[in-house]
Amino acid sequence: PLGYEQSVCKAMRAKGIDCFFFDEPKEYRTQLRKASLLFYYNRISREIFHRIFWRVIAQPLQKLLIDTALKNNVDYVFVSKGLFLHPSTIVTLQGHNISVSCYYADNPFNTWHFTNSNTWVRESIKLYDTYLAWAKFLIPQLKAYGAKSVHYIPYACNPDVHYPVSVKKYEREKFGSDVAFIGTADEERIHFFSEFIKMTFF
């Protein structure tokens, strides 16, 4: 199935825009596997190695992305989160007259969850030509952090991915419920849904 980034690329192609997909997370995992060797195959040791050395592991990605962009003579780089994109890479791309924008599908100021943001992400906010936010409450924070141009782009669905499916009886019995939430159970969400359940069902 299409992920978010592939969906964007497909939509651009449908509008006649020549687009290719640079899989940054996949490239990072490749570098992580090379760097961590045997550590990679144990989830705990791999996570520890990643958290300590992610900046070093991500370095080869910078040249790879720049070389790929220049080789393909691109005019525009659309970054989805860019967790492993160093701020200097954005500046280098812009130095080659390539516009660089970011759509951050999480909260870049969320520091409690390691996969949500990091120092490179926050340092890059002021560098992007355009920053796209999924929530309006982020816009003042992004502007205060120096973002040049911020636009609100809410979440949407891709009919190629999100569509009704037939559910078997045993699946309905096992997973069926009145309300289902799929996402990270952070403190704020746990509180919200706890109160929601009390109001709705009791």
pLDDT tens-digit series, residues 33-91: 888 777 777 888 888 888 888 899 999 999 999 999 999 999 999 999 899 999 999 99
Residue type for position 2: L
Q: How far is it, in rounded angstroms, from Cα 131 to Cα 129?
A: 7
Using a 10 angstrom Cβ sphere, with 0-12 exposed, 13-18 middle and 19 or more buried, the burial of residue 61 is: buried
Q: What pLDDT is stored for residue 128 in this prediction?
A: 98
Task: Please report, in angstroms and rounded to a whole number, the separation of the first and last CA atoms in the chain.
Answer: 39
- Alpha-carbon separation of residue 130 from 22, 161, 191 (angstroms): 19, 27, 34
**Beta-carbon count within 10 A of 98 CB:** 18
pLDDT at 196: 81
Res 200: pLDDT: 63
* Amino acid at residue number 79: V
> If you write DSSP's letter for every residue of 129-176 in order, what string do you get?
SEEEESSTTHHHHHHHTT-S-EEE------TTTS------HHHHHHH-
Q: Measuring CA to CA, which residue among 107, 112, 116 is closest to residue 142? A: 107
Question: Low-confidence residues of the chain, pLDDT below 70?
Answer: 1-2, 113-114, 200-202
Gyration radius (Cα) of the chain, Å: 20
